[in-house]
Amino acid sequence: MRPYLKYALLFCALCIGWQAQGQSNRKEKLEQMKVRLMDEIELANRILEETQKDKKASLGNIETVQQKIKLRENLIKTLDREIELMSEQEQALADEMDTLKVTLERQKKAYAKMIQQAYKSRSTTSRIMFILSAEDFNQALRRIEYLKQYSKYRKRQVQEIRESQKQLAQKTDQLHAQRVRKEALRAQLNKEQERLTNERLSQQEAIAEYKSVERDLTEKLKQKQREARKVEKEIQRIIAAEIKRAKEAADRNRLETKAIDLGLERGRDFTSNTSEERLKQLIEDKRKTLAAANVEVKEPATEAADEDFALSPKASQLAANFAANQRRLPWPVERGLVVSKFGTQRHPVVKSVIIENNGIDIATPKGSTVKTIFEGKVSSVILMPDGYRAVIVNHGNYFSVYQNLTSVKVTGGQELAKGEELGQIATNPVTNESRLHFEVWNNNQAMNPLSWLASK
């Protein structure tokens, strides 16, 4: 084989290998996404089966179906991309087969030419004469070695032809299997598109049904929002109280440290019950005493005021660990669908109602349990207007909030490990819906929980 042709074929093989590796990685990611989407659609179907007591759809069902429609739209996009990738792989296989055919044809021609040459010099006499006609003994040995190598080369050529034929047969089988898989995937795509069309029609009918009672529904939704705002105010009050307590504790700690640095002794000169005013007076008196005795007093460096959350070293480390796990925190429920997202948005059915959501709403199967997303301490357990409970967990200067719980298993001040069970999600006795309202706060600022939880 000519050197330049050998290197050209090697380069082509490497390019095909890189392309195949890239396609394999893309295919694996698409497969994972497809499995996840199908699992979430199955979960949405399960939730809907549990909540649909009769043919009338509830607002919760409408939101769940809307989420299912979005999931199915994403599934269809994923299937489209997978089919497109299969077409690329199909073309790559066809290109490999073309290359193999060219290689095989070249190998066969080279072998045929070699056989012709061998036929012309096939007699044993001609081989002996070729050796005996050498000018010296060393040349005769080299000719013998040449004949041996020539024989090995012929065998190797036969083996290469067989290997190329085997590879070509394998690629042919792969191409056939790829086309079968692509057709199966296309059939699945057509079925998903049909389901999506039916779901959209069903959703439009349900929304139209609710439109007829929009005025009454609007008032009920506004009443529900007023109750939600009361709960949010209570959450903010508790968080503000935590911040205030931590700041007061940090201020007190700094004051006591200053007293000790000046030579005052805890237990003799002051205790934890000594008032702040009295402790400041003791510090001032000690300064004057030291100044009168000409003792130099080193003032501590001025500390910047902390407007947010003054943290103890332990709480500071906890907050840092929480922040370091952003986008990697576990979900508070094992399985669930986000049916209402964070921020200001219009109600999915009653467009005149604006929703202010400080967290996310997760629809779950009945009887689902809730677990804390990180280690921390229970700040409070709140009784909500509907009789259910909310749990607030402190993670340094971060807080996680879990609303709509029943059978709560924790109490205020309790230390929690990551993943510890808080309670069970309540099921609405009228709509049969089970939903967790979940929030994440940094100091007194509500954050988007989806930017903190691990992606599914």
**Which domains does the chain possess?**
3-211 (no CATH), 245-311 (no CATH), 319-451 (2.70.70.10)
Indicate whether 305 pLDDT > 80. no
pLDDT more than 90, % of the chain: 21
Highest mean predicted confidence (pLDDT) among 109-113, 134-138, 153-157, 372-376: 372-376
Which one-letter amino acid corresponds to residue 353? V
Reading the block at residue 98, the tokens are 């073309």
Q: Greater confidence, 279 or 311?
A: 279
pLDDT at 310: 64
When mean pLDDT is compared across 43-47, 91-95, 146-150, 262-266, the lowest value belongs to 146-150
Asked if residues 384 and 398 have their Cβ atoms less than 8 Å apart, the reply is no
Look at residue 134 in the predicted model and tell me its pLDDT. 65
What is the spatial distance between Cα 11 and Cα 437, in angstroms, rounded to a whole number?
A: 57
**C-alpha 132: how far from its chain's center?**
78
Task: Tell me what pLDDT residue 14 has.
Answer: 53
> Which of 8-12, 168-172, 195-199 is predicted with the least confidence, judged by mean pLDDT?
8-12
- How far, in Å, CA of 211 to CA of 217, rounded? 9
Task: Give the whole-angstrom CA distance, residue 128 versus residue 14.
Answer: 45
Count other C-beta atoms under 10 Å from residue 40's C-beta.
Answer: 22
Are the beta carbons of 398 and 442 closer than 8 angstroms?
yes
Q: Is the pLDDT of residue 215 over 90?
A: no
Cβ-count burial of 410 within 10 angstroms (0-12 exposed, 13-18 middle, 19+ buried)?
buried
Closest CA to 403 of 433, 359, 442: 359
Q: Look at residue 1 and tell me whether its pLDDT is greater than 60.
A: no
Average pLDDT, stretch 346-375?
86
Query: What would the mean pLDDT of 322-348 be, rounded to a whole number?
Result: 90
pLDDT of residue 452: 96
What average pLDDT does the chain have?
A: 79
In sequence order, what DSSP letters do the residues of 193-220 get, joined into one string? HHHHHHHHHHHHHHHHHHHTTHHHHHHH
Note whether 436 and 370 are within 8 A (CB). Answer: yes
If one compares 112 and 322, the residue with the highest pLDDT of the two is 322
Reported pTM: 0.65
pLDDT in tens, 128-174: 665 567 667 777 677 667 656 666 666 676 677 777 777 777 777 77
Contact 20, 178 (CB under 8 A): no
Residue 69 has pLDDT above 60, yes or no: yes
pLDDT at 349: 67
Whether pLDDT at 368 is above 90:
yes
**First and final C-alpha spacing in the chain:** 53
The pLDDT of residue 3 is above 60: no
pLDDT at 304: 43
| pLDDT over 90 (residue 330) | yes
CA dihedral 195, 201, 205, 210 (to 10 degrees): 80
Instruction: Output the CA–CA distances (angstroms, integers) from residue 137 to 132, 142, 149, 191, in the order listed.
Output: 9, 9, 19, 81
Half-sphere exposure of 299 (CA within 13 A, CB side): 6
* CB of 417 closer than 8 Å to CB of 375: yes
- For 6, residues 6+ apart whose C-beta sits below 8 A from its C-beta are none
CA 300 and chain centroid, separation: 46
Give the strand pairing for 389-394 and 398-406. Answer: antiparallel
Q: Please give the Cα distance from 191 to 6 (Å, whole number).
A: 48
Percent of the chain with pLDDT over 70: 77
Q: Which residues touch 395 (CB under 8 Å, ≥6 apart)?
A: 318, 319, 322, 374, 375, 376
Per-residue pLDDT at 84 exceeds 60:
yes
C-alpha distance from residue 222 to each of 190, 228, 229, 354 (Å): 41, 10, 10, 9
Q: What are the DSSP calls for 226-280, one per residue?
A: HHHHHHHHHHHHHHHHHHHHHHHHHHHHHHHHHHHHTT--BTTTB-TTS-HHHHH
CA distance 120 to 138: 26
